[in-house]
Copies of this chain bind each other. A is one copy, B any other.
Amino acid sequence: MSFSYEVLKTDPAGGRCGQLTTPHGVIETPVFMPVGTAATVKALTQDALETLGARIILANTYHLDLRPGHKLIRKLGGLHSFMSWKNAILTDSGGYQVFSLSDLRKITDEGVRFRSHLDGSEHLLTPEKAAEIQLALGADIAMVLDECIETPAPRNIAEAALKRTTHWAQRARNYFLQHAKETGDPQQWQFGIVQGATFADLRRESAQQLLGLNFPGYAVGGLAVGEPHEVTCEMAGEVTALLPQDRPRYLMGVGRPEQLADYVRLGIDMMDCVLPTRAARHACVYTSEGRVLIKNARYMEDQRPLDPNCSCSVCKRYTRAYLRHLFAAGEITAAILATHHNVHFYLDIMRQIREAISFGQLEKFASELHARYNIGPA
């Protein structure tokens, strides 16, 4: 299997169903990618991920390069082999983690110099280096290094970051095309990342510049970092309106359950977020009736499943009272079960979104999602 992307169906309200083919399987889009930072989705085994129907997961270049190192992973046959995962993988560029986790960042046109959050060691991440590391990891989809800035950002900061992001994208693309095999029988696709903070014209400018580099897919980065949901949607919409219809679009780091359909309506095909897994470890489970903070004493005698409308193996077997007890006792099993449920919940929402599109009912479904959480649609 080589790479391809095909739109199969579009919805009157916006949004499309598609099929993303990779050397590690076919992925139905829109798709949610569970986050497997250190080559594991926290608290889930690969068997569990397969049972849940995850066809693509995300892994973090920053974490894997610091530990165990991209050279070791390449030596052991690449990320798929290392973690024994036969389905698809997307790796980020490491940029976002450098900006959010590391110390003593110094950004120049060359790249970003930083100290590891693990041991304080000094590293230099350049567009070429990020591409090189990701080629070594061997994920199906790699991302270019971009400059992430805090928001809200002054316009001049956003402009400078946009300029640098385009420049870095050009260098990343050059490195990739020299070192990877993207035609014939490619092993990796490289995606560009549109920046531009919360300025619509900068978003359009960034998209236009990246289109010139002819990426097989495009991401929208630097959103969902604190700005209102309406703004996230507005910016994502500005970008997707300009992107080619026949290439996948990935909105990075989103989102809350009730927001997923909004992004799909804007033409987004791929999303990732730590929310379902991180929230689960903190006893927050998502249900068709809203969020349940399962550690709360009110669930002490609650014999219902986490979500009466859920078909996951956790809801079929365990009660809220039992989950509540496991969290109160600090048991590892609590994280396992809650994570399993939350990832099922997210993947199931995406299944429902794809189904809604197949019936041309995405607008109705998006409204229903918001109603469940008592939050008005964007």
**CA A286 to CA B355, docked complex, whole Å:** 47
- Contact A322 B39, beta carbon cutoff 8 Å: yes
Q: Does A97 sit at the interface, judged by CB under 8 A?
A: no
Beta-carbon nearest neighbor of A333 in chain B: B40
**CA A313 to CA B333, docked complex, whole Å:** 18
Partner of A67, one of B47, B68, B322, B325: B325
Chain B positions within 8 Å of A110 at CB level: none
Name which of A75-83, A213-221, A227-235, A249-257 contacts chain B: A75-83
Q: Does A38 sit at the interface, judged by CB under 8 A?
A: yes
- Contact A76 B301, beta carbon cutoff 8 Å: yes
Chain B positions within 8 Å of A328 at CB level: 67-68
Q: Does A137 sit at the interface, judged by CB under 8 A?
A: no
Partner of A337, one of B42, B45, B337: B45
**CA A75 to CA B332, docked complex, whole Å:** 25
**CA A357 to CA B322, docked complex, whole Å:** 40
Chain B positions within 8 Å of A13 at CB level: none
A316 nearest CB across to chain B (Å): 9
Within 8 A of B (CB), among A12-45: 38-45
Chain B positions within 8 Å of A333 at CB level: 40-45
1/0 per residue, CB under 8 A from B, across A266-306: the answer is: 00000000000000000000000000000000001101000
Q: Does A343 sit at the interface, judged by CB under 8 A?
A: no
Chain B positions within 8 Å of A68 at CB level: 300, 321, 325, 328
- Contact B317 A43, beta carbon cutoff 8 Å: no
Chain B positions within 8 Å of A187 at CB level: none
- Contact B76 A326, beta carbon cutoff 8 Å: no
A286 nearest CB across to chain B (Å): 19
In this complex, the interface size class of chain A, counting residues with CB under 8 Å from chain B, is 35 or more
Among A72, A321, A333, the most chain B Cβ lie within 10 Å of the Cβ of A333
A133 nearest CB across to chain B (Å): 16
Beta-carbon nearest neighbor of A334 in chain B: B40
- Contact B300 A72, beta carbon cutoff 8 Å: yes
**CA A152 to CA B82, docked complex, whole Å:** 49
1/0 per residue, CB under 8 A from B, across A302-328: the answer is: 010000000001000111011001101
Q: Does A151 sit at the interface, judged by CB under 8 A?
A: no
Chain B positions within 8 Å of A331 at CB level: 38, 40, 42
Chain B positions within 8 Å of A326 at CB level: 38, 40
A43 nearest CB across to chain B (Å): 4
- Contact B47 A303, beta carbon cutoff 8 Å: no
Within 8 A of B (CB), among A83-100: 83-84
CB within 8 Å for A76 and B332 given contacts A40-B326, A47-B313 = no
B-binding residues in A (CB < 8 A) = 38-47, 63, 67-68, 72, 75-76, 82-84, 300-301, 303, 313, 317-319, 321-322, 325-326, 328-329, 331-333, 335-337
Q: Name 29 A/B residue pairs within 8 A (Cβ), A-sorted.
A: A38-B329, A38-B331, A39-B322, A39-B325, A40-B326, A40-B329, A40-B331, A40-B333, A41-B333, A42-B331, A43-B333, A44-B333, A47-B313, A47-B317, A67-B325, A67-B328, A67-B329, A68-B325, A68-B328, A72-B300, A72-B321, A76-B301, A76-B319, A82-B319, A82-B325, A83-B322, A84-B317, A84-B318, A332-B332
4 smallest A-B Cβ distances: which pairs?
A: A40-B333, A38-B329, A43-B332, A68-B325
